[in-house]
Amino acid sequence: MVYKNAVVEDKELQQALSSINPKFGDFCTRVAGEAWGLPLIDQKTKALITVAIDVANQDHTGPGNPFGAHVNMALKQGATREEIEELLVFMCVYAGFNKAAGCFGALNEVFKQFEATVVAVN
């Protein structure tokens, strides 16, 4: 399910953004879609970068949290659970152990939902 543009081509993501608020969803799709369309950094790397930013910003809780969306985006772009876990360990050094710890807890929840979705689709 790797996309050339992980925002513009992912209709499920766009629907989730619009469910928060239609104007917000449209704005995010247009602006983020343009940034995700830049050619030099591949989609998987961009998705992992956004996960790292979420760790630093502590955006991993609550409805519509970006951490869960960005982990799902990274998975859709070919990142593995092991790569995401290694990224969180790496972020301990640069963002703080407590921030990464909270994200590890949230990551487990994201994977439960992701695995349930994969099973339901298959």
pTM given for the model: 0.83
CATH architecture of 42-121: Up-down Bundle (1.20)
**Distance (Å, rounded) from C-alpha 24 to C-alpha 42?**
25
Average pLDDT, integer, range 26-34: 93
Q: What is the pLDDT of residues 62-82, one digit of tens each?
A: 666 788 889 999 999 999 999
pLDDT at position 40, please? 96
What does the domain layout of the chain look like in residue ranges?
A: 42-121
Q: Where are the beta strands (DSSP E) in 29-108?
A: none
